[in-house]
Chain A
Amino acid sequence: MSQEVNIAKKELVVGTSLWEDAWRRLKKNKLAIFGAIVLILIVTVSLFGPIFSSYTYDQINLDRSSEPPSWDHWFGTDQLGRDILVRSLIGGRISLMVGLVATSVSFVIGVTYGAISGYFGGYIDELMMRIVDIIYSLPYLFLVIVLLAFFTKSIFMLFLVLGAVSWLTMARIVRGQVLSIKNQEFVEAARAVGVETPQIIFRHIVPNTLGPVIVYTTLTIPSAMLSEAFLSFLGLGVQPPLASWGTMVNEGIEAISVYPWQLIFPGLMMAITLFSLNFLGDGLRDALDPQMRKD
């Protein structure tokens, strides 16, 4: 065990200067660090906040329906008199989870798939990209209907559907980048000194595609959160009394002119999260840009 740790440490010092370098540069970017802190704060509050509240997310109190923010209910209450603060925090857990799942799938599967397809090219590329085309083309509405008919409604199904689509465009973007990178000199050099193919792909080529990958990832998260709201509306995913930011915003919009706080607070939580992610993503992009390593 201790030996393993030693080896890992050694590698960190010798081999992965890219990540160390990136971390050093990221620390200097105030906006990115600020984004990261806000994100950590939101995750912490969503995870542990509800424990300290005297309300639960499904506690109905019709005597106090649609109350504006007050000392009792900081974010006000919804039509059923439920505390919007607690609901926003619980909703945050779901929305953050949706973002995390969509991101990980598109990161792990999308990047790997796209990199392999682009690197090998030719018939392999053609086959792999046509499979992506096929998955793209399926009518998802029916996939959802069929899933709903054969399986019990669950959040797992929601993640499955979101995961199935979230990696496709990523794969195409990475593949396009790899096509233009793979014939550059540094890849030839790596090949010439006998670096093995997986090493070339994942150590030399993929880090050079991270710019668009990170930017596209920060774009995937909001669209996954919105798709979640839509899928929940279709009946797949979050069902009342449980809520997510997306479903709360959807419901809030209907009452916007009468009870604006029902839209504003969950919407604000979502917006703050997305903006922080955005700043962190841009900072990461700059930090990982190999062209900037000189300075």
Chain B
Amino acid sequence: MLRLIIRRLLGMIPILLIIITITFFLLRLAPGSPFANDKAFPPEVIQALNEQYGLDKPLHIQYFNYVKELMKGNLGPSTRYVGRSVNELIWQHLPTSVVLGLLAYLFALVLGLIIGIISSLRQNSLLDYVSMAVAMLGISLPSFVLGPLLVIIFSLTLFWLPPARWGEPKHLILPALTLSAVYIAYIARLTRSGMLEVLRADYIRTARAKGLAESVVVLRHALRGGIIPVISFTGPALTFLLAGTIVVEKIFAVPGLGKIFIEAANSRDYSVVMGLTLFISTVLVVMNLLVDITIGLLDPRISYK
């Protein structure tokens, strides 16, 4: 197990390097450049700016410079926010996105698992049908519909939670719920099908025959095998929750990374886009490592030889 972890952590370096390389050239291929958008600048000024940021050098030199700085942990300067480094920008907005993303992840896991397990235990009951229908609704409703809908229900009708505000913990609830809706639904449905598969397996019959309490059978024995599809799904899910917050950020006025990314993309702020892509892909690779460790621990039949 330890060897697996060490090997995978070392393996991250070439993976991230490949991602950086592809992203670097993909960005340069896209039409537009950092200063071309500002029409007010005369060509000499743009020339000077390009020189200042090293954007006048040949592409491969720029690439090697970027990688060299990256090795030192420097993500480079932002061209949109003059005088600020990408490290600074990311650190400033990261906590918000991480807190929101993790809370949404927690909602998705807890609610999704509970709904999925109950549905599987009461297969084809009214409760099952209703929860699965609600889950389908959760997937089909885009967040720009669901967000305002939740605000109307919880803030403007019930007065339980404040609408778009940021600062206190309770301001997190509605955006996190909006963000997690799709994932609650995914996890509920995957849990249900995984559990249904396992609940009829021989080892569950054995567990029941031994006279174990139903809760022990379900939670200790069935869940272990039944949630493997769910676990496989949670790696990519957390990544999307951290990265895919732009719409929710807009609805609830959350100062997160999504807005920074879109602005950077629109103004061709190369180093900011690179920095954020690097951050997201690191999370993804680490999450998938955790996923592999978890399913190995959950299911004794799995071995990574």
Contacts and interface: CB of A to CB of B under 8 A. Distances in A.
Contact of B236 (A168, A218, A222, A226): A168
Nearest to A132: B288
A180 B225 contact: yes
Contacts of A122: 304-305
Interface centre among B182, B185, B228 (most CB of A within 10 A): B228
Interface residues of B, number: 59
Interface in B169-191: 182, 185-186, 189-190
B231 interface: yes
Contacts of B220: none
A171 to B, nearest CB: 9
Contacts of B27: 139, 142
Contacts of B31: 145, 149
A195 interface: no
A146 B27 CA distance: 8
A139 B23 contact: yes
Contacts of B121: none
B30 A180 contact: no
Interface residues of A, number: 56
Interface in A142-197: 142-143, 145-146, 149-150, 168-169, 172-173, 175-177, 179-181, 183-184
The interface residues of chain B, by DSSP majority, are classed as helix
A221 to B, nearest CB: 9
B299 A278 contact: no
B142 A211 contact: no
Nearest to B20: A137
A121 B200 CA distance: 27
B48 interface: no
Nearest to B133: A275
Interface in B10-69: 11, 15, 18-19, 22-23, 26-27, 29-31
Interface stretch (A37-45, A86-94, A284-292): A284-292
A180 B228 contact: yes
Interface of A: 121-122, 125-126, 129-130, 133-134, 136-139, 141-143, 145-146, 149-150, 168-169, 172-173, 175-177, 179-181, 183-184, 211-212, 214-216, 218-219, 222-223, 226, 229, 249-250, 253, 270-271, 274-275, 278, 282, 285-286, 289, 291-292
